[in-house]
Amino acid sequence: MNGQLILIRHGKAVEGTPEGDDFSRKLTDAGKKELAGFLADIAPLLTETANLKIWTSPLLRARETAELVAEATGVKEIEEKDFLATGVFAAFLEALKQEEDGFTVALVGHEPYMGMWTNELIGAPIPFKKGAAAFFTVNLDEEPIGKLEWLLAPGETLKCTQEQADGKRNRTNPFSESDEDSHKKDAEETMYEAIITEQMAGVQHAYAAYQQNPVDPESAHDLRVSIRQLRALLNFNKSNGDEGYYREASEDWRDIATTFGYLRELDVLMGECRQLWGLYPEMLAEDAQVMTWLKEERQAEQDSIALLIKSGALTERILDAEAATEQLLQSIQLNDRQQKKATIKKLEKMEKRLLRKWEEVDFTNHEETHSLRINAKKLRYAATYLAPIVGEKDKEIIKEMKKMQTSLGTLCDLQINGHLLLEMAEKTDDPELRSNFRKLSEHQFERREALLNQEED
C-alpha cells in the first residue's frame, strides 16, 4: 500500500501557563501571518496529487494551523483525530490502513510526537520547528515504511523547497552555484550559510543515531563532536554578526553537548579500564566490581538522557539552538568574497596564536593544556569545513592542529580519569570498591606524570 504523508507541526502559539487551558491555546497573530506565507509558498508541493486530505489534532492551535493548510491548498474538509493529540502511532497507522492506495494525507500535530513519528516512518527522529512540514513517500509493506523527501520550515523559499523536492541540490558540493560577487544576501544563501546548514543537519543525524543506539559509545561521541564542529564554525563569524544571537546560539549548543558529557567521560574511562585489564585482571574483569559499577553508572546516565528525550525537552533545546543560529546567520552581512577574505585572515591569526601558545604551554597545568587542546580542535574543524570558502583545505594547519591534539589528548584524559575515579571512590560505601577506585586513580596520575617527564626530557 503506497501513498504520501505530510507531517506539519502547528505554528507559533500563545505561551501556556500552569493554570491555563492547554487545549485552548491559539496561534499568535504573528504565527498566523508567518505560517500563511510559508504555506502559500509550499502549496504547489502539497497539492501535486488531487486527493489531499487533512487530519488534525483537536487542540485549537493545531486546528487553526490545519485551517491555514486547507486555505492554502483548497481542501474543503478537515478531520479531527485524537491520536494526533496523544501521539499514539499505532492508532494512526490503523486509520491510515483504511485509506485507499495512493493516499495523500497532511497530519497537523505537536512535538515531540511529530519527531517521534518520523522515527517510526524512517528509523530516525527529526526535530520539528513550529510550523515545519516534512513530506514522506510511504509503502506500508516495506521496512522502513517511509522515505523523507523534504523537510522545511517557515522562512525557507519556494525555490529552495522545489530544489530539495526535485533532488536538484548537490549535497556533496552545495556551493557550486554560489555567486561571490552577490550582495543580495536576503535572496541567496551564502557559502557560509550553506556550510552551517549542512553542519546542523549533521547534528540532527547524529542525534537520531544516538537515539537508535545509545549503548554504542561512539554514538554519544559523534553527537558531541558534530556540535563542537558547529560551535567552532559559528565562532569564526562571531565578530561579523549580532553578538547576542551568537552568544545565545553558542551557549545553547554547548548546553546540549554538555548533556552527553558525563556519558562520554564514563565511556572513555571504561575503555581505559579495559585496556588495563592485563594489569588488574581480577579488578577489571567484565563481571568484577569496578566494571559492574561503571556499567550501572552509565546505564543510569543513559536512562536520565532518555527521559529528557522522551519528554521533548532535549528536542526543544535543539530547536531553540537552531533558531538562534539562523538569527545569527541573518545578522551576518558578508557576501562570499568578503567571507573568503575574513576567513583566510582569521585562520592565519589563529594559527600563529596557537603555535605561540604551544611553544609556551605548561604541560603540568591541566587547565592550560585542556584549553589549548580545545582551541586546536576548533582551528582544525574550521580549516576542514570552511575549505569551500577559501578554495581548498589548509593541510598544514590541519596537520599541526591534529599533532597538538594528539600530544595533549592523553594528558587531559588521564587527568580527567584520575579525578573521576576519586569521585567514584567517595560515592561508594564498599571499602574494597573504594580501594580499587583509588588504586586505579593513582595509576592514571602516575601515567600522566611519566608522560610529563618524557616532555621534559
Positive/negative CA dihedral, 296, 302, 305, 306: negative
SS3 of 355, please? helix
Residue 17 — very low, low, confident or very high, per pLDDT cuts 50/70/90?
Answer: low
| Inside any domain, residue 160 | no
Weakest-pLDDT range from 108-117, 158-167, 291-300: 158-167
| Inside any domain, residue 162 | no
For residues 216 and 318, membership in a common domain is answered with yes
For residues 288 and 222, membership in a common domain is answered with yes
pTM (2 d.p.): 0.66
* Rounded-to-integer distance, Cα 156 and Cα 119, Å: 24
Q: What is the pLDDT of residues 372-389, one digit of tens each?
A: 999 999 999 998 999 999
* Domain that includes residue 219, residue range: 188-331
For residues 297 and 356, membership in a common domain is answered with no
At 71 the pLDDT is 95
Q: What is the pLDDT of residues 394-437, one digit of tens each?
A: 788 999 999 999 889 999 999 999 999 999 999 999 999 999 99
* End position of a domain, from candidates 331, 364, 386: 331
For residues 232 and 342, membership in a common domain is answered with no
| Inside any domain, residue 178 | no
For residues 376 and 364, membership in a common domain is answered with yes
Q: Quick check: 180 pLDDT over 50?
A: no
Q: Report the domain count for the chain.
A: 3
Asked whether the beta carbons of 183 and 335 are under 8 A apart, the reply is: yes
**What's 248's domain CATH number?**
1.20.120
- Beta-bridged to residue 78, according to DSSP, are 54
For residues 410 and 355, membership in a common domain is answered with yes
Sheet (strand 103-109) strand order: 78-80, 52-56, 103-109, 2-9, 133-139, 146-152
Please name the residue that has the C-alpha cell 555567486.
Answer: 179
* Rounded-to-integer distance, Cα 110 and Cα 131, Å: 10
Mean pLDDT of the chain: 87
Q: What is the pLDDT of residues 298-334, one digit of tens each?
A: 999 999 998 888 777 787 788 889 889 989 998 999 9
